[in-house]
Amino acid sequence: MTDSIPRKNMIEAIRDALDVKMAEDENVVVFGEDVGYFGGVFRATDGLQKKYGKSRVFDTPISELGIIGAAVGMGAYGLRPVPEIQFADYILPAYDQITSEAARLRYRSSGEFSAPITIRTPAGGGIYGGQTHSQSPEALFTHVAGLKTVMPSNPYDAKGMLIASIEDDDPVIFLEPKRLYNGPFDGHHERPVTPWSDHDESLVPDGHYTVPLGKASIVREGEAVTILAYGTMVYVALAAAKETGIDAEIIDLRSLLPLDEEAITKSVQKTGRCVVVHEATRTCGFGAELIAIVQENCLHHLEAPIERVTGWDTPYPHAQEWDYFPGPARVGKALIKVMEN
């Protein structure tokens, strides 16, 4: 039966999701820097302007604050805008509009207005983008009440979660791991990878389907230790488990806010050990929240201290990217350490 399901990379899956929603709902509009005529720097919107016209897919000035400010107004008056911020590193000029306006609009207006905005932006490293094209700012948004923050790790989830985000009545920060745009990898630089399970996540059905926000995915079952990861780090965790031979259960969080605390708790209570992995800088990163949740819910089940593997607390380097980038060796050391306790 899978022979009839098309195989797509993440860029193609994202474009497919946008196409599906634009065909279904004339209120969905797509805009941002170079997303119209050029089709986006990563080609995720390629062909959409030709299909739906310049009034629904259009280019904007280089003003992130203006892009999101316009999206807030559009959402308040009935549209479902899907603005793109060209790189997550560029999102800070729009932070005030996102956190002070979009996130609060429904609460501030007692439900009279809402901001059904899905903000797409490429995040993370792995492509030698240097410090201005490689950051992972997810923790800046998971701290904000009223926002939802997601980061898929594969094409199937990317399409389903993007459709779910566009249909959501609250603003969603949709982070796209650019290292995975053209396909997964085995956790080591450029080598290719085969599907991690019996279900091939590059098989992306045509038409409408959703992957619910707030639900994690167990991508590898295990009994010895739980690894919590998301985005590109899912593949690094899989490589580390394989190379160390440790029977790790790997949870792809994919939705950071809302977060599937039930799945986390159930897994860690089963294994008694936990390793948290993320690409962003360590201090005040999302991993700190994950550790707090595990401590609160699983303290009496833990057989060892929780280990954390993250990016360094430095600006993102260029030449030393793969030393900064948490790789299988660093995750493997954490797995071995947690198993020795």
- DSSP secondary structure string, 60-110? --S-HHHHHHHHHHHHHTT-EEEEE-SSGGG-GGGHHIIIIIITTHHHHTT
For residues 121 and 184, give the distance between their C-alpha atoms in angstroms, rounded to a whole number: 18
Chain-centre distance for alpha carbon 139: 12
For residues 191 and 200, give the distance between their C-alpha atoms in angstroms, rounded to a whole number: 18
Chain-centre distance for alpha carbon 115: 20
For the record, the structure tokens of 280 come out as 């962003």
Query: Quick count: other Cβ atoms within 10 Å of Cβ 7?
Result: 12
Q: Which ranges of the chain would DSSP assign to H, the alpha helix?
A: 10-24, 48-52, 64-76, 95-96, 105-108, 138-142, 155-167, 233-244, 261-271, 286-298, 321-324, 328-340
Catalytic residues: 133
What does DSSP assign to residue 111? T
